[in-house]
Amino acid sequence: MSSLSEQIASHPFFTADVSALPFDERIALSYQRAILILRTYNLTTDDVLNLTPKFWSMHLDPNIALDYGLFTILAAQINLTVGTLSRHVKSRPDLVPLVNALLKGDIIGLYLLSERGHGLDAINIETTAHQQEDGTTKFMPASNPTFGINKIALVMARLIIKGEDKGMRPSFGASPLDFSMTRFNKVKLPASALLSDSFEAPRDARAAWWDTLWRIPIGSFAVAGPCVSGLKHTAYVGGAYSLRRKVAPHGEKVPIFSFPTQQWSVLHSVASARILEAWYHEATHPIKHGLAVLVKATVIREAMECSHEMAERCGAQGTFDTNFIARHKADLNSVIIAEGDVLALCIRLWGELVLNRYTLPIPDAKESLLANHAHALLEEGRQILRRIPGGHRSEAAEYELLPESERAVIALGHACAFSAAKRAGVPQVLLELYECAAIRDDPAWFSEHAGLSREAQRVKEGAALRVAAPDIEKYLEDLNVKYAVRASIISDENWLPRWSACRSTLGMLRVASLVSHPALTAHACDVEKK
């Protein structure tokens, strides 16, 4: 990882123990962290507009995975607000000072799109250029006017001229920021606040809508970046703990990593982190909406599965906020609906794919077992569509085709990720482990069509674990996140300061008063004498 990331990791904003901070102070710290990252990476308008490697490097910074509140601020600030404005800078030089202030973090930008009652169908937003009689409110993070932060908002509203709806246009002006309902009451904006080259109604309202929201697909892809970094944190924390924690089932102490069940959880996370990171790097050139959906769905679902497994294998300490994994699990539940609900995105994409309206660069079926699986599911979906009466809008399609949407899209993602990681030179045994994990998602198909019985699938997993386990320390080191990890569970060096900081509570134990049976009372007295 870059020296910029290591520089950020050593800053007091990131070394501070946030577990005991009050809610408002944690939010304030998220803003301070976001501004620190903005000023450290020092992105330019060109970086944001053209999605340069520096832009993506920031999204993959391991420090961001520690605080998804921070990432929410950055996502709205850089990708949505600056990204939308960047396309207008050449024709609107008056926007340059504003964009520069946003890039430096002097002003925090909001992107007010969705409304209460208009999330997935945001194309039907009710906010217009005149006061709404029904009191429509915007509902987006982070829109609370507190924490001493200067804020500006891009507000998506329908442009009404002489009673005629001219379609959705973005406008900007000073506005509050943290989840809140934002209502506009007789707000007067100058003509320069309107970001549009034309006042004419678009010929194709839906196409114009997506053109205006062109940064949303990029955002769908971008939110997967911190999830990849979070998966690396999960693998490192779980792996380091599994090597440190020892038990003595037969007298001699051994690390819990010596058990295959523990090895699977750790190595599954390691393999997924390495494979998905390689794919993420490759997929940034260029980004298409369908590919963004593929990456987001695959990365987040895999991260959720790994964090769930790893949290359980870390025992009680896996539930502690200070050990990252439990907090990461909760964050993933919110990220999966950010920049587009994953299920809704997959339903739309899967429908387009089986209708042959859209294509994705899926590896050739002969390239790998996972690619063969992906092509088979795609053909199966097309066969179902041809068989059912009424086509893709029928009730039969809703029950037979749509429920498979997300699983099928993720299967395509597994095939693409595997292929990209192979090209990137990820170790073969990690590829095999990732393949085993993908097989677990659809074991019946691999048994029916790939000649892998249930027993053969277990044997395949066991063989991969035996090869990978001896090199676990190297694989953990290769994740390159140790410098950013703050979990106390990974070492005595991290654990002892936290233990020393715990609040002590003194109580009096009166054993004899709790025991009524004479024999037990005598035993209690013996205990007290000892």
Segment 81-122, tens digit of pLDDT: 999 889 888 888 888 999 999 999 999 888 776 544 444 445
Segment 1-12, tens digit of pLDDT: 578 999 999 999
State the pLDDT confidence band at 210, using cuts at 50, 70 and 90. low
| Higher pLDDT pick, 453 / 518 | 453
pLDDT of 340 higher than 60: yes
* Rounded-to-integer distance, Cα 179 and Cα 464, Å: 45
| Higher pLDDT pick, 202 / 502 | 502
* Rounded-to-integer distance, Cα 178 and Cα 236, Å: 31
CATH fold of 218-478 reads: Butyryl-CoA Dehydrogenase, subunit A; domain 3 (1.20.140)
Residues of the chain with CATH 1.20.140.10: 218-478
User: Taking the model in full, what pTM does it have?
Assistant: 0.84
Determine the residue type at 47. D
Determine the residue type at 259. F
DSSP character string of 334-388: HHTTTTS-HHHHHHHHHHHHHTTS----PPPTTT-HHHHHHHHHHHHHHHHHHHS
In this structure, the strands spanning 108-112 and 151-161 are parallel
| Higher pLDDT pick, 428 / 210 | 428
User: Contact 69/26 with Cβ under 8 angstroms?
Assistant: yes
State the pLDDT confidence band at 193, using cuts at 50, 70 and 90. low
Segment 470-498, tens digit of pLDDT: 999 999 999 999 999 999 899 878 777 77
Residue-level pLDDT at 158: 54
Q: What are the respective helix, strand and coil percentages of the chain, to the nearest 5?
A: 65, 10, 30
pLDDT of 278 higher than 90: yes
Q: Would you give the DSSP letter of residue 43?
A: -
pLDDT of 154 higher than 50: yes
**CA angle in degrees (0–180, nearest 5) for 62-67-72:** 105
Residue-level pLDDT at 110: 82
| Higher pLDDT pick, 406 / 137 | 406
* Rounded-to-integer distance, Cα 527 and Cα 354, Å: 74
Average pLDDT over every residue of 395-402: 87
Q: Which two tokens stand for residue 338?
A: 């950010």
pLDDT of 276 higher than 80: yes
Alpha carbon separation from 390 to 283, 403, 477, 518 (Å, rounded): 36, 17, 55, 81
* Rounded-to-integer distance, Cα 475 and Cα 493, Å: 21
User: Contact 321/19 with Cβ under 8 angstroms?
Assistant: yes
Closest among 135, 401, 154, 426 to 278, alpha carbons compared = 426
Give the distance, in angstroms, between the CA of residue 211 and the centroid of all CA atoms in the same chain.
25
Residue-level pLDDT at 133: 46
Residue-level pLDDT at 379: 95
| Higher pLDDT pick, 527 / 347 | 347
Look over the chain and give the mean of its residue pLDDT values, rounded to a whole number. Answer: 83
* Rounded-to-integer distance, Cα 29 and Cα 469, Å: 39
